[in-house]
Amino acid sequence: MPFIKKAFYIEKPIKTFLFLIREFNFTQGEAQRVISKGRILIDGKSIYDKSATIEGHIEIVYFEPKSRGLKPIFITDKFLVFDKPSGVLVHPNSMATEYSILDEIRIHSGANANATHRIDMETSGLLLASRDKDAERFLKGSFERKTIKKGYLAWVDGRVDKSFSVEEPIKIRDDYSASKHKVEISKNGKYAKTDFIPLYYDEKLDTTLIECYPLTGRTHQIRIHLFHVKHRILGDPIYGTTFKDANSYLEGTLSKEDRLIATKATRLLLHANSISFNYGCRYKIFSKVNFRKMRSEIYRGREI
């Protein structure tokens, strides 16, 4: 477990954030974030007061990374790049999360290393991580300024013969009682544009491998844009399935067999394949995964 609980005995009263700074070599900001997340416990209960004084017996929950052997595919003194497998979170979403890419980032580059963007759990491919706080600020700022460009690959339903763009605004849904889609196309949404380029059509599987270039960075942008033009990504358990199947997936009760039939693949067949940006010089980094071979994950009823 990456989150562990450790007991301490504090003989003399001390400000909570000062204790964390001295014990864990945190910055003041890092110490205050630990407090605000309720990871300081007295008598089993979290304290949240950043100015509180503590003494006696306390417990602290903190992140202790554990590696599963995933290594970066590219590394400099400022950043590193991983090929994230499908099914793995970038960050732990709770203290019960057993493993995430953050484990590997911290194992390779220490406590100040961090992911600089997010990839959906089921999306595979390139994840850019910073190795220190200065690099984190620069790279996250580059994403905000849209100077970092990402390219994706996807296996989609049906035949795509020519390049096209989808320029439709995207809105986070307010109500999930009728649909489990996290986002929707809406005139009240935020501007979004994605370019698509077909690479290969498999007639037997009736599926097309396409390149996807999001020019904006909205939640589920590629997924909803492809669903909107009726070329949903194979394996997508939310966009293109029934309400019942999507709900079962979100509740963790959809069996592998039912998912395969409902989505036509074992996993979401979306892959972050390239990333390009400036950091001292121009970098363009490609995934080492042969995503074309992911056809093997498509429903066996549609034989290759």
Q: How confident is the model at residue 304 (pLDDT cuts 50, 70, 90)?
A: very low
Phi/psi for 38 (5° steps) reads 75, 30
Q: What is the pLDDT averaged over residues 216-243? A: 96
Q: Could you tell me if 138 and 128 are in contact, meaning their C-beta atoms sit under 8 angstroms apart? A: no
Q: Is 258 a catalytic residue?
A: no
Amino acid at 257: E
110-140 pLDDT tens trace: 988 999 999 999 999 999 999 999 999 999 9
CA 194 – CA 14 distance, rounded (Å): 53
| 37 pLDDT more than 90 | no
Q: For a pLDDT cut of 90, what percent of the chain falls above it?
A: 83
CA 202 – CA 269 distance, rounded (Å): 15
Cβ neighbour number for residue 191 with a 10 Å cutoff: 11
Q: Could you tell me if 42 and 58 are in contact, meaning their C-beta atoms sit under 8 angstroms apart? A: yes
Q: What is the pLDDT averaged over residues 222-240? A: 97
CA 18 – CA 51 distance, rounded (Å): 10
Mean pLDDT computed over every residue of the chain? 93
**Residue ranges per domain, the chain?**
3-63, 74-144, 149-297
Residue pointed to by tokens 């849904």: 173
Task: Assign 280 to helix, strand or coil.
Answer: coil
240-250 pLDDT tens trace: 999 999 999 99
The arrangement of secondary structure in 149-297, i.e. its CATH architecture, is 2-Layer Sandwich (3.30)
Which candidate in 77, 120, 174, 202 is catalytic? 120
CA 253 – CA 93 distance, rounded (Å): 19
Q: Could you tell me if 303 and 204 are in contact, meaning their C-beta atoms sit under 8 angstroms apart? A: yes
Angle between helices 256-263 and 243-250 (to 10 degrees): 140
Q: Which helix (H) or strand (E) holds 262?
A: helix 256-263
Class of domain 3-63 as given by CATH: alpha beta
CATH 3.30.70.580 fits 74-144, yes or no: yes
Start-to-end CA span in the chain (Å): 40
Q: Which pTM was predicted?
A: 0.87
Task: Assign 295 to helix, strand or coil.
Answer: helix
Residues in the chain, total: 304
